[in-house]
Structure 1
Amino acid sequence: MSIIEAIIFGIVQGLTEFLPVSSTAHIVITQLLFGYTFPGLSFEIFLHFASILAVILYFHKDIWNVVAGFIKYITTRDHHYRVSFFFALYIIGATFITGILGMLLSDMIADTMKTPQMIAGALTVTGIALIVIERFHSYGSRRTEDMSFIDAIIVGLGQTLAVIPGISRSGATLVVALLAGLDRETAVRYSFLLAIPVILGSSVLTFDDMSTGFFQEVGIIPLALSFIVTVVFSWIGIVWLISFLKKSRLVYFAIYCFILAVCVYLFIEPITIMELEES
């Protein structure tokens, strides 16, 4: 892998991981453009760790408050930490639901849904969902202190849809959280913090795909560079999305998903994606 390609992969992963546009679809498309095949899921796992590092760095105060509040509520039963305690439980609950259902569905998804038609269809569904939540649903006003386990169940189920290539994890969690009546700020915060255990968990489950041969094949310098670039652009993506959602609309992401779906359907051959996945 060249230095330029490493930078481009890092930019694509970083910008699309947390935007509601499906980072998986973008990484597959980028591989096709460069004619690259990676062994198993090694490269995706590697870049996912970089994206999660950016989330941890950006939300480190939130993470500390939730973890500290969770522990302090258990040890002191101080009502002041009750919201943090239950918010941690909502993250754990949604992650558990996604993890169990994701493992049950992963084999079926891997065998039947990684085709251009399915990816294009999933991107279209993502776009439609974003338009529906933007145009036909009133935003809620419920904040962290108003959440319940019902919200965790709904978001966990919605997040499970992201096992389908082309369905955005961040898009799915945002849409279902907003449908459940959470306000934008709470929905975005919940979505980002949920990314940490979900992506780390899925990466650990596929960690066997990481091999010494992978590092030798791609190259240490390109890998290190793509990791750094992914962290930087994931940070940029987080900052930009939070700022964007405060003053603009999800419908612009929907339009982008529709355009990308058309491009995937028209220009990507089915056999090419299957070859990439089997490599």
Structure 2
Amino acid sequence: MIPAWLEAVILGIVQGLTEFIPVSSSGHLVLVPYLMGWEKHSLAFDVMLHVGTLGAVLVYFRGELSAIVRGLLRLDRSPMGEVYRRVGLLLVPASVPVAVVGLALAGPIEDAFGSPLVASLLLLVTATLLLTAEAIRSRRVRASGLVVDELAPVPAGPGATESTQRAWTGSWREGKGQVLDLTEAPVGLPLGEDASDPTGTDLSGITLRHAMTAGFAQCLAVLPGISRAGSTITGGVFAGLTREAATRFSFLLAIPALVGATILSLPDLADGGEALAELAGGMLAAFVSGYLAIRFLVRLVSRERLTGFAYYCLAASAVGVIGWLMLGPPSTV
């Protein structure tokens, strides 16, 4: 037996890493305690883990969030300010589907979270989503007729191409807008341009269709084993966003979901059975590992495919199924 505080830290690391890397945090939080033979933690502990990962995404995207707020308040009326404002506005309708589904299916979802077998099998769905996203992107690149280098640097600043420097003209349906002068733009929200995906749309051209496709895809993640990041990135790429733009929008879309889940779970804090050191350790571990996971994935998607995570999900699913066959259903005592 390991100390309770160390168990809490391990679960916090698992939560932080898997919340933002597309391998399903909910699935791992079901499988890890089950395979390790640990007792189920209280809902209060789960709340603190979500607080830790929420803090991580808020800190990492603090510049982007500040730019969005300035755009929403009309403090920045530049073309880039309009981009920030538009992304902020699109986060609202894109967050509605998962809120409705989460509230409507709270009971069945809670039952599913107790099944390691269900979580293991649904990891296969996450793997399928990631492979689908890469297949869609590859087909789009081939259809463009351009031969591009996946590792080529993305144009930026005054030397960038016109297609990477456009901002919203005011239409919610049209993708590309007026040409931007990024040399005069404040440091803020990277647009997610991708030189190896020349026909993909970056955040300067994101539309309601892009946002809602990612938002509806996020509904899949209410089930354990289906990654929220994986489903929303796939939805964004399917709708036409570049992989990096879809990833950045996915992380920003996580903020309303994490805030809502935390608020709804606040009453559960009174029912916690863990010591303060366990709660604090789990939350801090989730914050640090979550921050590092975001930083890693944002850098990775600009130059690498997501197929490696798909293969990991396939392996994790196999381990979970084998473990369930050997250990049987978890004890309810």
The alignment's TM-score, normalised by the length of structure 1, stands at 0.89
Relative distance call for 1:116 and 1:225 in structure 2 (3 A) is: closer
Which of structure 1's runs of 4+ aligned residues deviate more than 3 A? 76-80, 111-114
Summarize the Cα distance change of 1:45–1:270 in structure 2 as closer, same or farther, 3 Å threshold. Answer: farther
Which amino acid is 2:245 matched to?
A: T
Equivalent-residue separation in structure 2 for 1:69 and 1:159 (angstroms):
25
Distance 1:49 1:270, change over 3 A: farther
Which protein has the bigger helix share? 1
Query: Does the Cα contact within 8 Å between 1:13 and 1:47 map onto a contact in 2?
Result: yes
Q: Give matches, 1:13-52, under 5 Å.
A: 13-32=15-34, 33-39=36-42, 41-52=43-54
SS in 2 for 1:202: helix
Deviation for aligned residue 1:77: 6.8
Which residue does the alignment assign to 2:92? 92
| Corresponding position: 1:230 with 2:289 | no
Rounded to whole Å, the distance in 2 between the matches of 1:270 and 1:90 is: 45
1:75-90 matches, within 5 Å, as 81-90=81-90
Q: Which moved more, 1:259-268 or 1:1-10?
A: 1-10
Shift of 1:122: 1.2
Alignment of 1:150 onto 2:198: no
Aligned-partner residue type, residue 97 of structure 1: P
Task: Tell me by how many angstroms 1:34 deviates.
Answer: 4.3
Aligned 8 A contact 2:210 2:236 in 1: yes
Matches within 5 A, 1:1-279: 2-32=4-34, 33-39=36-42, 41-72=43-74, 81-111=81-111, 114-137=114-137, 138=140, 140-211=199-270, 213-214=271-272, 217-268=273-324, 271-272=329-330, 275=332
- Displacement of 1:207: 2.1
Q: Structure 2 counterpart of 1:241, which letter?
A: L
State the secondary structure of the residue aligned to 2:74. helix
- The structure with the largest alpha-carbon Rg is 2
> In the alignment, residue 6 of structure 1 is paired with which amino acid?
A
Structure 1 residue aligned with 2:173 = none
Deviation per CA, 1:84-138: give whole Å up to 9, x if none: 2221111111112221122123323334575333222211011012112213433
Deviations for 1:139-168, whole angstroms, at most 9, x for unmatched residues?
552112211111121111100110111100
- Unaligned runs of 5+ residues in structure 1 are none
The offset of 1:80, in angstroms, is 5.4
Query: Does structure 2 conserve the Cα–Cα contact (< 8 Å) formed by 1:51 and 1:230?
Result: yes
Task: Measure, in 1, the Cα distance between the counterparts of 2:87 and 2:205.
Answer: 10
Q: How many residues align?
A: 269
Task: In structure 2, give the amino acid aligned to 1:257.
Answer: C
Q: Output the CA distance in 1 between the equivalents of 2:265 and 2:18.
A: 21
The one-letter code of the counterpart of 1:10 is G
- Asked if 2 retains the 8 angstrom alpha-carbon contact of 1:127 and 1:255, the reply is yes
- Secondary structure of the equivalent of 1:90? helix
Q: Output the amino acid matched with 1:266.
A: I
Distance 2:241 2:136 in 1: 15
What displacement does 1:82 show?
Answer: 2.2
Aligned-pair identity in percent equals: 31
* Partner Cα distance (2:232, 2:255) in 1: 13
Relative to structure 1, the CA distance from residue 20 to residue 146 in structure 2 (aligned partners, 3 Å threshold; closer, same or farther) is: same
Cα RMSD over matched residues? 2.1
